[in-house]
Structure 1
Amino acid sequence: MFDLVVKNGKVVASDRVFAASICVQDGKIAAIVAPGTSLEAKRVMDVKGNYVFPGAIDSHAHLNDPGYNWREDYAHGTAAAAVGGYTTVVDMPLQNEPALTDGYIFDKKLAHVAPNAYVDYCFWGGLVDYNFASLKELNAKGCVAFKSFIGPVSPDYVTLSIGQAKEALEILKTCDARAGFHCEDYSIIKWEEQRAQRKKQNNWQDFLDSRPVIAELIATENIIELARTLKAKVHICHVSHPRVAKAIQEAQMNGVDVTGETCGHYLAFTDQDVLKNGSLFKCAPPLREAAAVEELWKYVENGTLSCIGSDHSPCELSEKSEETHGIFGAWGGLSSIQSTMQAVFSEGVVKRGYCPTILARALSEGPAKAFGIYGKKGAIKVGFDADLVIFDTKKEWEITPDSLYYVNKISAFVGLKGVGLPVCTLVRGQVVTENGQLVGQKGFGQFVKKTNK
């Protein structure tokens, strides 16, 4: 007798959609059988023809815990993730106090967040100019990748030079670890900001102009060349433009171990949203023109961009204040972990006609493979964790502040309307959200290390 059978669903795999029943035992997928097969189970869940996606994996989230809990914390952030269909969150090392840069900090962070997580989670390790000696230790403790900035970063973290990145990659190669990079050229951005600030008054076009595509492209190409030369593993975070995606694609075709990630906001919004709404839509790299959005989707479809992360970067409303901080000082980042899956389904599958399999690849399989947890996470296959998202393809929605589980209920996604919604999320066979509402237990989420499968 199985613990659970999910029946009458349409399973969305990375290569096909098929009708099946999913059998769960001890938190794992024990069998996938033809619909109508007679089965005995302690609980049967009839999903009535809805899609069943593998649990989404957020490759890029800033949960701000510990240290900046007034922006977000594990309880609120993982609750929002669960409601949004994310069953595993790969948490960034910055916007933590202190940043996750050595083994002692790792242990303290794990002990602090473990009692509060509703879904499973992984850690990015820090990659800064003062922790090269700690990289192997962090890898051994279970960090799935290491995050660095080539472009400007907030005061709690450090930008690396290309020379420092080279040394770091040499170290990480020895333990088969992947480094992720925020790729925007530091010198271009800082110079363009200085040029803009010579004016008596700045506007949002000045902000967009200060972070041109060429800055993102140059930094990406530099990291790719390091990876090519050193035969190292790299991950390009939050790709905003198809020119950058094309550079990644060409490198992949030439055997470079580079994975690419974009985010829901780069697939749903444009630079016009920044010009119209200001700081609420401020992020880095910035939102791009409408034509770039359309072409970026093609790189998700062909697998070049194998991850769609949220880059959830929450803040208090006061930190977004243009009056207080100015255009260049206002907080740059979007709160998005709860809204990304529904947004990209509506924008990609409903509006643009893409097959839902591309989301199984970019939300689940791709991140799992990039971060070394495939085999445990990332697909609906026998032996994998029973991380499942029941998805109502006909459910209409509008994102409102009251619907958000964040500490600060502000988001650029508020007001967005669409079709297709996660209605039930299961983590290791346990229902964590039902009818779009949190029902799981705080502390149920588990820390996940690399499986190297």
Structure 2
Amino acid sequence: MFDLLIKNGKVVTVDRIYDASICVKDGKIAAIVESDHELAAKEVIDAKGNYVFPGAIDSHAHLNDPGYNWREDYEHGTAAAGVGGFTTIVDMPLQNEPALTDAKIFDKKEEHVSPKAYVDYCFWGGLVDYNLDALKELDTKGCVAFKSFIGPVSPDYVSLTIGQAREAIEILKSVDARAGFHCEDYSIIKWEEGRAKKKEKNDWRDFLNSRPLIAELVATQSIIELARELEAKVHICHVSHPKVAELIRKAQLEGVDVTGETCGHYLTFTDEDVVKNGSLFKCAPPLREASAVEELWKYVNDGTLSCVGSDHSPCELSEKSEEKHGIFGAWGGMSGIQNVMQVVFSEGVVKRGYSPTILAKALSEGPAKTFGIYGKKGAIEVGFDADLVILDAKKEWEITPESLYYVNKISGFVGLKGVGLPVCTVVRGQVVAQDGKLVGQKGFGELVKKIK
């Protein structure tokens, strides 16, 4: 007898959609049955003809735990993830105190967050100028990738020069690890910020102009060239524009091992949202023009961008205050970990006509392969973890503060309306969210390490 049976669902993979029942035993997918055989299980979930997706993997989350728990923590962040259809999150090493930069910090972080997690989680390792000698031990611990900045970063972290990045990539190549980069050229941004601040008063166009597309292009091309020279693995985080995606596409065709990610907000909102609404839509790289949003979808659909993450970057409302901090000092980041899956379905499948398979590619298989956890996560296949999401394609929704599980219930996504909502989230065979409500057990989530 199986532990769980999900029947009457439309199973979504990266290349097809088909009717099948999914059988779960000991947390794993034990069988996928396309016939009408009678199947026995301790628990049965009727998908009622809805889509059944592989569990989504958030490639880019800042849960701020330990250290900045007043912005977000593992209890609230993983609860929100589960309700939204993310069964695994890949947590960033910064906005942690201390940043995750060596093996001892890795162990302490795991001990601190494991009792709080509702869904499974991976760790990005830190990549800064003072921990190059700790990168190999962090890889041994199980970090799935290493995060660095080629641009301005918050005071609790450190940017790298291109020379430092070259040495770091060389070290990571020796253990077959992937380096991820926030690609915006430091010198361009700092110079443009300085020019803008000479004005008597700044507006939101000044912020947008201080982070021009050329800064993202220059930094991305530099990282690609390092990967080409060293024959190493790199990842370009939060791509905001199709011209950046095109650099990645060309490099991939030339044999460079470069992966790319964009985020739900870059596929939904535009620079006009920043101008109109201010700091709630402030992020880096910034939101781009409407035509760029449409073109960016094409690079998700063709697989150039293998991941669509949240870049969940929460804060207190006061940190977003333009009056208190000014345009350049207000917190930059958007909270979205609970809403990415529904937004990608509504904006991509319903509004733009892409196949639902785009979600299986960009939210599941793509991230799993990018971060070395495919085989355990990332697909509806026998032997994989039974991470599954039932999505009602006809269910209308509006994002409200009350619906959010965050510590701080503020988000640029509040007020957005759409169609298609996750209604059941299963992690390793256990239901953690049902009909928009958290039903899972705190501490059930487990650390997932890179498969060696």
TM-score by structure 2 length?
1.00
Q: Look up the equivalent residue of 2:260 and give its one-letter code.
A: G
Asked if 2 retains the 8 angstrom alpha-carbon contact of 1:8 and 1:49, the reply is yes
Q: Look up the equivalent residue of 1:145 and give its one-letter code.
A: A
| Pair 1:211 & 2:211 matched | yes
The runs of at least 4 aligned residues of structure 1 exceeding 6 Å deviation read none
Q: Look up the equivalent residue of 1:229 and give its one-letter code.
A: E
| Structure 2 counterparts to residues 374-453 of structure 1, below 5 A | 374-452=374-452
Distance in 2 between the 1:5 and 1:176 partners? Answer: 38
Distance in 1 between the 2:204 and 2:404 partners? Answer: 27
Counterpart in the other structure of 2:139:
139
Q: Over residues 80-127 of structure 1, what are the superposed CA-to-partner deviations in whole Å (9 max), with x where a residue is unaligned?
A: 000000000000000000000001111110000000000000000000
Distance in 2 between the 1:43 and 1:63 partners? Answer: 32
Counterpart in the other structure of 1:239:
239
Distance in 1 between the 2:408 and 2:153 partners? Answer: 22
Q: Look up the equivalent residue of 1:44 and give its one-letter code.
A: V
Deviation at 1:37, TM superposition (A): 1.8
Counterpart in the other structure of 1:126:
126
Asked if 2 retains the 8 angstrom alpha-carbon contact of 1:8 and 1:35, the reply is no
Counterpart in the other structure of 1:33:
33
Report the 3-state secondary structure (helix = DSSP H, G, I; strand = E; otherwise coil) of the residue aligned with 2:328.
Answer: helix
Counterpart in the other structure of 1:249:
249
Q: Over residues 375-415 of structure 1, what are the superposed CA-to-partner deviations in whole Å (9 max), with x where a residue is unaligned?
A: 00000000000000010000000000000000000000000
| Pair 1:162 & 2:165 matched | no
Q: Look up the equivalent residue of 1:389 and give its one-letter code.
A: V
| Structure 2 counterparts to residues 69-218 of structure 1, below 5 A | 69-218=69-218
Q: Over residues 258-282 of structure 1, what are the superposed CA-to-partner deviations in whole Å (9 max), with x where a residue is unaligned?
A: 0000000000000000000000000
Deviation at 1:35, TM superposition (A): 4.2
Distance in 1 between the 2:37 and 2:148 partners? Answer: 50
Report the 3-state secondary structure (helix = DSSP H, G, I; strand = E; otherwise coil) of the residue aligned with 1:280.
Answer: helix
Distance in 1 between the 2:227 and 2:18 partners? Answer: 38
Counterpart in the other structure of 1:293:
293
Report the 3-state secondary structure (helix = DSSP H, G, I; strand = E; otherwise coil) of the residue aligned with 1:255.
Answer: coil
Q: Over residues 169-191 of structure 1, what are the superposed CA-to-partner deviations in whole Å (9 max), with x where a residue is unaligned?
A: 01000000000000000000000
For the aligned residue pairs, the C-alpha RMSD in angstroms reads 0.5
Report the 3-state secondary structure (helix = DSSP H, G, I; strand = E; otherwise coil) of the residue aligned with 1:267.
Answer: coil
Deviation at 1:369, TM superposition (A): 0.1
Q: Over residues 14-65 of structure 1, what are the superposed CA-to-partner deviations in whole Å (9 max), with x where a residue is unaligned?
A: 1111110000000000000114221111111111000000000000000000
Report the 3-state secondary structure (helix = DSSP H, G, I; strand = E; otherwise coil) of the residue aligned with 1:265.
Answer: coil
Distance in 1 between the 2:378 and 2:157 partners? Answer: 30
| Pair 1:17 & 2:35 matched | no
Report the 3-state secondary structure (helix = DSSP H, G, I; strand = E; otherwise coil) of the residue aligned with 1:245.
Answer: helix
Deviation at 1:344, TM superposition (A): 1.0
Report the 3-state secondary structure (helix = DSSP H, G, I; strand = E; otherwise coil) of the residue aligned with 1:305.
Answer: coil
Report the 3-state secondary structure (helix = DSSP H, G, I; strand = E; otherwise coil) of the residue aligned with 2:334.
Answer: coil
Q: Look up the equivalent residue of 2:17 and give its one-letter code.
A: V
Distance in 1 between the 2:431 and 2:348 partners? Answer: 27
Q: Look up the equivalent residue of 1:382 and give its one-letter code.
A: V
Report the 3-state secondary structure (helix = DSSP H, G, I; strand = E; otherwise coil) of the residue aligned with 1:402.
Answer: helix
Asked if 2 retains the 8 angstrom alpha-carbon contact of 1:176 and 1:233, the reply is yes
Asked if 2 retains the 8 angstrom alpha-carbon contact of 1:125 and 1:144, the reply is yes
Distance in 2 between the 1:85 and 1:450 partners? Answer: 22
Specify every segment of 5 or more residues in structure 2 that has no aligned partner in the other structure, as ranges. none
TM-score by structure 1 length?
0.99
Distance in 1 between the 2:20 and 2:257 partners? Answer: 35
Distance in 1 between the 2:451 and 2:128 partners? Answer: 25
Distance in 2 between the 1:131 and 1:450 partners? Answer: 20
Report the 3-state secondary structure (helix = DSSP H, G, I; strand = E; otherwise coil) of the residue aligned with 1:57.
Answer: strand
Q: Percent same amino acid at aligned positions?
A: 80
Report the 3-state secondary structure (helix = DSSP H, G, I; strand = E; otherwise coil) of the residue aligned with 1:116.
Answer: coil
